[in-house]
Structure 1
Amino acid sequence: MIDLREVRDDLEKVRASQQARGLDPATADELRDADEARRTALSAFESLRAEQKQAGQAVKKASPEERPALLERAKELAGEVKAAEAAAAQAEVDLREAHAAVHNVVLDGVPAGGEDDFVELEKVGQIPRLGFTPKDHDEIGEALGVFDLARGAKVSGSRFYFLTGIGAQLELALVNMAMAQAASYGFTPIIAPALVRPDAMEGTGFLGAHADEVYHLEADDLYLVGTSEVALAGFHSGEIIDLSAGPTRYAGFSSCFRREAGSYGKDTKGVFRVHWFDKVEMFTYCKPEDAAAEHRRLLEWEKEFLGKLELPFRVIDVAAGDLGSSAARKFDCEVWFPSQQRYRELTSTSNCTTYQARRLGIRYRDENGKPQIAATLNGTLCAVTRTIAALLDAHQQADGSVRIPEALRPFLGGIEEISAK
C-alpha cells in the first residue's frame, strides 16, 4: 500500500499515477476521503472514551445528590462510545478497501499507456542469421527428447509437461548456474516454499488484479505462488531488519504456478507459457533512497546472465498500464526467438519501493535508530522453461541439433550440443 502522506500532501501526483496506469483517478480522491473519515471517526471515538473515563471518575467522587445524574450520563456515554467504536472500525474497513484500489505510485520517467507503449532502452547482441528456416522450440524439444508435452497433458492437462533426459539436466544446470552467479554477488541462496498464507500473497499485491492468476487451496486457505517473490517478501514480515551495511539480498528457488487466465489460445505450443515452472528469483530489501540504484543493479545482473547464455535481447521500460499493482517501475529483458522473428519476455525486474514492505510491516532503523519502512525489489534471474525454450530456439543448428553456450557447459558436464543421437 502507498504511504497515506502521499495522498494528503500531493493528491494530484497520485491521481496522475492512477491515470497513467489506466485506472480511475477518482480512486485517489476516494482514498483521501476514506483517510479523512477514518481519522475523524477515530478522533470522535477517542474523545468519547476519554469523556467516559472522566465520567467514571466523577461518579466515584460525587455526592449522593449528584450521583444519579452522573450515572445517567455515564450510561449514555457507554452507548455513544460503543457506536463510535463501531463507526471507527467500519471506517478502518472502508480505508483498507480504498487503499487497496490505489496502486503503487509510478516513478518519474515511466512511460504512460498499456502493453504496447513500452520504451526500448537498448539492444544487446546480434540477431543471428541462421541460413535455414528455423523450427519452433516445441518441435526441436520433442525431437531431441528435451521434454514430453503429450504425456504432460495426459497426466496433468494442458500447459503441463515432463522435462526428460537432457531437459531435466538443462533445468538443474541453469538453476545451478543462476545460483552460482547470484551467490558471487552476495545473494543468500534460499529454497522457498511454494505454498503461502493469504497475508503473504495479499501483502505482495497478488490478490488484487492478479487474483484470477492464482491457485487457491480452499481447504487449507493456502496459495500456490506464481513467483518466490511472495515467500521472500514474507520472509521478514513484521520484522526490523539490519540495513546498516547495505541491501539484504536473497536468491530464491521455487516451483511457480500460474492459472494463465485470459491467455486462452495464446502460446499453447511448447513450454513458453505453462501452468507450472521453476524459477530463480532475486529479491532485495534496501533503504528507499537506495532503491533506484539497486533496480539498475538487478537489471545488470539479469543482462549478465543472458549474455552468458549468448542470447540476443533488448531491454524495455514497461509502461505504467502494464505494471503490477506493487511495481513503481519495471524493466523487461526480451530475447529474440528466430522461429517467431520477434522478441519475447524472458526476465523482468521491478522496483516496488515501500509498497509491499508497508503492507507486510518490514522496517529498518535509520541513522537515529528510528524504525522506517524498507523498500523491496525483485528480479527474475532464470525462469527455467522459458530459458530452455529460448536456448532451443536461438541456438538451433541446420542439422537439428542445438549448441550449448560455453558458460553453461561446465554445469552440464561439458556437453557442447544436444543432438538426436
Structure 2
Amino acid sequence: MLDLKQIRQQPDWFKEKLATRGVDAADIDAVLALDVKRRELLQQTENLKAERNTASKQIGEAKRNHESADEAIAKMQAVGAQIKELDEQVNAVDTELHDRLAHLPNIPHEGVPVSLTEDGAEEMRRVGAIKEFDFTPKNHWEIGEELGILDFDRAAKVSGARFVYYVGLGAQLERAIYNFMLDEHMKEGYTEVLPPYIVNAHSMYGTGQFPKFKEDVYQVNGENMTLIPTAEVPLTNYFGNEVIPAEELPIRVTALSPSFRSEAGAAGRDTRGLIRMHQFNKVEMVKYTKPEQSWEELEMMTQNAENILQKLGLSYHVIKLTSGDMSFTASETHDLEVWMPAQAKYREISSCSNCLDFQARRLHTQYRDENGKLQYVHTLNGSGLAVGRTVAAILENYQNEDGSVTIPEVLVPYFHGITKITKENAVPFRK
C-alpha cells in the first residue's frame, strides 16, 4: 500500500512513476479527490459535534434553571441525525478510497528499466558456460516420460491438465532438490519454517495478491480461504500487526511449500512440461529488514538463489525486470533465468524482489527506531528456487544420448549412492 500522505504531497511524482507501470494519472486524481472529500466530510462532522456539545450544555443549563429545553433537545436531535448521515458518507468514501489505493502498485526504484512490457530488461550478469551436446537434446518432458519418472497422462486423468505425477527416481529427484535448497539456505542464516498452505483473505490482501489478482488463485470455503500461490504469503504475514524488536532485524526465513495457481492468464503458454503448472513445489526466501538494510539484503538474496544454480552446475543469467514486468508489490526485481538446451533459451527459475514498506503498510508490521518511533519494516521475497523448473533444467542439462540422466554431484548424497537415472532403475515397480 502506498502512503496517502506522500501522494498528497507529491502527486505529480507519483503520476510520473506509476505511469511506468501502466497506471493512468486519472487514477491518482481519483484518489486525491476522495481524500479531499473525506477530509471535508470529517470537518463538517467536527463542526456538527461542536454544535451538539453546545446544545448539550444548553440542555443541562436549562434543566438546572428549571427552564424548557425543548428547543435545544430538538436541535441536538437534528444535529445527531446529520452526524449519523455524514458518518455513513465518510464510511462509504473510506471504503472507495481504500479500494482505489489497494489497486495501485508499488513505485519502481530508481534504475529499474522503464517499459510497460518485458522488453528492455537489463541483463546484469551471465554465469556458467552453456553446455554443448553432440546430439540433439530432448525436452525435459520427453526425457521424463521415456524414463517413466514424469506421468502427465495419469495426472490429467485424475486432476486435469497442468498436473503431474513424479514417480520413482523422479519423486526422489524432486525431494533431493528441495532438501538441498533448504540445507543451503539454512547455512546462509535462514530459519526454516513449515507454514500453513491455506490462508484467509486478509493474508492475501496483506501481501498484495488481493484484491487485484483473485482470478489467479484457488479459493476454498467460499471466498474467505485460499490455497497459497507461494509461501511468500504465510511467511510475510507471520509478523502482521506486530512490532518486531529492532535488534532482531534483519530476519531471514525459508520454507518449502506447494504453490497453487490457476494460470488464468496463461492459456496456450507452456502447455507441455513442468514450466507452468497448477500445483508445484517451491522453496521461498523472505526477509524483514530495516529500510537502510533492504537493498544490501536484496543483493544477498539474489546471491543465495544463484548459489543453488552454481552448485547444481547450471548456467544462468540475472536480469533486472522492467517497471511493467515486475510483480504488483515489487519496487525492484532480479530474475534468475536458467539455460534450457531443448528450447535454446533462458527460462525464469527465480524472482527476488524488494517490496520496501509496501506490504508492511498493509500488514502493519513495524519496529521501533533508535528514537523509539514506530517505523514500517521492509519486506523482501525470492524463490530459492522453483523446484519443478529446477527438475526440468537438470533433466535437460544432464541428459545423455542413451536417454539416461546424470545426477548432479551435490545431489548424489540424497540418492544414497545412485549417480544416474536410467530406464532400469527409474521406477522400481516396472522392473
Q: What's the TM-score bracket when you normalise by the shorter of the two chains?
A: over 0.9
8 A Cα contact 2:201 2:223, kept in partner = no
Q: 1:271: how far off? A: 1.5
**Which residue of structure 2 lines up, in the alignment, with residue 117 of structure 1?**
120
For normalisation by structure 2, the TM-score amounts to 0.94
Residues 1:50 and 1:363: Cα distance change in structure 2 (over 3 Å): farther
**Which residue of structure 1 lines up, in the alignment, with residue 243 of structure 2?**
240
Output the CA distance in 2 between the equivalents of 1:325 and 1:301.
23
Q: Is the partner of 1:79 in helix, strand or coil? A: helix
**Which residue of structure 1 lines up, in the alignment, with residue 429 of structure 2?**
none
Residues 1:182 and 1:47: Cα distance change in structure 2 (over 3 Å): farther
Deviation per CA, 1:68-124: give whole Å up to 9, x if none: 332222122111111121121112112112212211111111111112221111111
8 A Cα contact 1:132 1:398, kept in partner = yes
CA RMSD of aligned residues (A): 1.5
8 A Cα contact 1:392 1:402, kept in partner = yes
- Look up the equivalent residue of 1:48 and give its one-letter code: L
**Which structure 2 residues correspond to residues 32-51 of structure 1 after superposition, within 5 A?**
32-51=32-51
8 A Cα contact 2:249 2:288, kept in partner = no
Residues 1:20 and 1:87: Cα distance change in structure 2 (over 3 Å): same
8 A Cα contact 1:145 1:166, kept in partner = no
- Look up the equivalent residue of 1:355 and give its one-letter code: F
Output the CA distance in 1 between the equivalents of 2:295 and 2:29.
28
**Which residue of structure 2 lines up, in the alignment, with residue 70 of structure 1?**
72
**Which structure 2 residues correspond to residues 127-142 of structure 1 after superposition, within 5 A?**
127-142=130-145
**Which structure 2 residues correspond to residues 246-285 of structure 1 after superposition, within 5 A?**
246-285=249-288
8 A Cα contact 1:125 1:313, kept in partner = yes
8 A Cα contact 2:352 2:380, kept in partner = yes
- Which has the higher mean CA deviation after the structures are superposed, 321-330 or 134-143? 321-330
- Look up the equivalent residue of 1:57 and give its one-letter code: K
Q: 1:64: how far off? A: 4.2
Structure 2 stretches lacking a partner, 5+ long? 425-431
- Which has the higher mean CA deviation after the structures are superposed, 228-237 or 42-51? 42-51
**Which residue of structure 2 lines up, in the alignment, with residue 406 of structure 1?**
409
- Which has the higher mean CA deviation after the structures are superposed, 109-118 or 49-58? 49-58
- Which has the higher mean CA deviation after the structures are superposed, 41-50 or 393-402? 41-50
**Which residue of structure 2 lines up, in the alignment, with residue 223 of structure 1?**
226
Output the CA distance in 1 between the equivalents of 2:386 and 2:123.
22
Q: 1:361: how far off? A: 1.2
8 A Cα contact 1:281 1:381, kept in partner = yes
**Which residue of structure 2 lines up, in the alignment, with residue 82 of structure 1?**
84
For normalisation by structure 1, the TM-score amounts to 0.96
Q: 1:218: how far off? A: 4.0
**Which residue of structure 1 lines up, in the alignment, with residue 350 of structure 2?**
347
- Look up the equivalent residue of 1:275 and give its one-letter code: H
8 A Cα contact 1:27 1:101, kept in partner = no
**Which residue of structure 1 lines up, in the alignment, with residue 303 of structure 2?**
300
Residue among 174, 177, 190 paired with 1:174: 177
8 A Cα contact 2:193 2:253, kept in partner = yes
Deviation per CA, 1:223-278: give whole Å up to 9, x if none: 11110101111111111112324311110221110011121221111112110011
**Which residue of structure 2 lines up, in the alignment, with residue 396 of structure 1?**
399
Say whether 1:159 aligns with 2:162. yes
8 A Cα contact 1:238 1:362, kept in partner = yes
- Which has the higher mean CA deviation after the structures are superposed, 123-132 or 46-55? 46-55
- Which has the higher mean CA deviation after the structures are superposed, 261-270 or 48-57? 48-57
**Which residue of structure 1 lines up, in the alignment, with residue 98 of structure 2?**
96
Say whether 1:360 aligns with 2:363. yes
8 A Cα contact 1:45 1:88, kept in partner = no
- Look up the equivalent residue of 2:358 and give its one-letter code: Y
Output the CA distance in 2 between the equivalents of 1:30 and 1:295.
34
8 A Cα contact 1:200 1:230, kept in partner = yes
Say whether 1:187 aligns with 2:190. yes
Structure 1 stretches lacking a partner, 5+ long? none
8 A Cα contact 1:111 1:318, kept in partner = yes
**Which structure 2 residues correspond to residues 303-314 of structure 1 after superposition, within 5 A?**
303-314=306-317
User: How many pairs does the alignment contain?
Assistant: 421
8 A Cα contact 2:113 2:321, kept in partner = yes
Q: Is the partner of 1:129 in helix, strand or coil? A: coil
- Look up the equivalent residue of 2:171 and give its one-letter code: A
Q: 1:66: how far off? A: 6.0
Q: Is the partner of 1:39 in helix, strand or coil? A: helix
Q: 1:20: how far off? A: 0.5
- Look up the equivalent residue of 1:334 and give its one-letter code: E
**Which residue of structure 1 lines up, in the alignment, with residue 153 of structure 2?**
150
Residue among 287, 291, 296 paired with 1:288: 291
- Which has the higher mean CA deviation after the structures are superposed, 75-84 or 158-167? 75-84
Output the CA distance in 2 between the equivalents of 1:395 and 1:419.
12
- Look up the equivalent residue of 1:219 and give its one-letter code: G
Output the CA distance in 2 between the equivalents of 1:178 and 1:419.
24
- Look up the equivalent residue of 1:15 and give its one-letter code: K
Output the CA distance in 1 between the equivalents of 2:71 and 2:269.
75
